[in-house]
Amino acid sequence: MTARRVGGVFGLCLSLAAVCPRTAHAQAPVITGPGNRTDTVGTAVVPPVAITTTGATNPLTYDAWGLPPGISVDASTGLLSGTVGAGASYAATVVSGAPAAYWRLSESSGPTAADASGHGRGLAIHGTPAFGVPGIVRDASTGFGGWSSVDYLGGGDTDAAWQQADANATPKAFTIEAIVSRTATLAWQVLVMKTNEAWTNGYGLSVGADGESLSVWVNTWDGSGDGVQVSAALTAGAFHHVAATFSGGVATLYIDGRVRASQSNVASATLDSATSALSVGWRFGGSGWSGTIDEVAFYQRALSAVEVATHAQTALSAYAVTVTASDDVAGTSSTHGFIWTVDEAPIITAPLDQVLPVGAFAPIQIVANDPEGHALTYGARGLPPGVGVGSGTGLLTGPLAIAGSPYPPINNPVALGCQPDSGTWPFGP
């Protein structure tokens, strides 16, 4: 403290050195992993998958959402572990949403594509589409041949109410949903359509003029006048879950569970009547679908974004996982997302038991199918001497080198990449 005289008056000047504690700003943890991964149903996650972080100075707690069935997170260590389970049935998921019609397209022949919704709205099969094409939901899909093809599904039920023929009476809403693969760059490929030959009423889901973008349109094919139209790229050579919704003049296109495009037009809130029958795979004025079509569903309402995402996740077995790491002391946290894909194991058709003389061996084919449609490699253990297996063909060839009592049963793993099937099949000479 100091004092000085000012005009005969003593003034006091206080010099205070205040010592204030500095509050450190705690850095939020930064999650660096895990990255995208793929596992097979029935396999244990060993070693556990770690949620990795940097920058944290205090102990962390962890959480996770959207994990595949059978997987859990340790809140104190951030380790994801368990045995990967199978997800919900895609068909059951669709049916639970109460579709007006649902064509699974797993037929081996015609004349009708059955309706799995329970409403009996089958579609007549026209032409000669390819039946039994491998799909991704453990059943077959139907192949279509492109521009030169007039193979399509259509006709069948003509109930005006569900096909929206009375749509001018009141505003309507709908969802078209399917699992598809596109194999060619070809303009105007028709996926699902209900319209006249000029495509100026009703609605459609089709590839646009560029041969690569999928479009949903209502009332007019180009969205003009009282129409609405949106499009987004559809990658060729792979299966995709696609959904188009319409309600209140808003058309939205989803691909693999995500909104890819959306647009509104108040003038299109009322759907222009289309008295023609709904068709799948082809329509006058367009070209045939080039690729495969599977699991086509039609709803009389617009599915929510959450419903579409759930359907896509179930169809593609791709789980959008979100993990968090929290510093409870500092009150900070961060999140991280990755895709955890779950493949179903290939299905093996077991060879029958064999009894063959020494030196003789008729080739035996291991027959297998991968639910996701991926290429398979083959292997076998415990084969009799002289017998081998073609890794690319699954063909067992000989001849047998020695005779003897039946050999021990063998395990025929069929691998997708390096993931073996969990089944074992007995086989002996």
Overall domain count for the chain: 3
Looking at the fold, whether 255 and 377 belong to one and the same domain comes out as no
Output the CA torsion 381→384→388→394 (10° steps). Answer: -60
Residue 215 contacts by C-beta under 8 Å, 6 or more apart in sequence? 204, 205, 206, 207, 208, 229, 230, 231, 253
Give the pLDDT score at 244: 97
Give domain status of residue 252, yes or no.
Answer: yes
Q: Report the percent of the chain where pLDDT is more than 90.
A: 37
Decide which of 296, 325, 343 is a domain's last residue: 343
Give domain status of residue 222, yes or no.
Answer: yes
Give domain status of residue 7, yes or no.
Answer: no
Q: Report CA-CA distances (Å) from 327 to 53, 56, 65, 374.
A: 11, 7, 18, 43
Give domain status of residue 264, yes or no.
Answer: yes
Residue-wise pLDDT tens digits, 380-401? 888 888 888 999 888 888 777 7
Segments of the chain scoring below 70 in pLDDT: 1-26, 138-140, 145-151, 155-171, 350, 354, 356, 358, 360-362, 371-374, 402-429
Looking at the fold, whether 185 and 306 belong to one and the same domain comes out as yes
Give domain status of residue 113, yes or no.
Answer: yes
Looking at the fold, whether 119 and 267 belong to one and the same domain comes out as yes
Q: Which domain holds residue 51?
A: 30-87+317-343
CB 176 within 8 A of CB 298: yes
Global pTM?
0.69
Give the pLDDT score at 207: 94
Looking at the fold, whether 159 and 63 belong to one and the same domain comes out as no
Give the pLDDT score at 425: 33
3-class secondary-structure state, position 305: helix
Residue 92 contacts by C-beta under 8 Å, 6 or more apart in sequence? none
**pLDDT, the chain, mean:** 79
